[in-house]
Amino acid sequence: MPATDQPIDQRYLVQQRKASSADKELPVFARTMKSKDGVFEGVSFIRNKDKASVMTLDEANQVIAWAATKPLAASYITTIICKGQ
């Protein structure tokens, strides 16, 4: 079967926590913002895991790279997790 007939491996979430916080503080999850053409524009971090964007590994890495450019990036730990974790 050609690779184009394969389902897209879209099962990742991006999670962010404050680097200095205790384990009791809840993480936030990435919700990607895209243009009408589907071009990545940025991310908002939300508390509701169910409304977070489920993405491919490449998209998740793009979110990590985007988050690393923000002024307070050093204050947060941003990780990719599998959906269901």
Decide if 61 is inside a domain.
yes
Decide if 39 is inside a domain.
yes
* pLDDT at 1 exceeding the cut of 60: no
Total domains in the chain come to: 1
Decide if 45 is inside a domain.
yes
pTM to 2 decimal places: 0.82
Decide if 44 is inside a domain.
yes
Q: Write out pLDDT tens, residues 41-61.
A: 999 999 999 999 999 999 999
User: 40-46 and 12-18 as β-strands: parallel, antiparallel, unpaired?
Assistant: unpaired
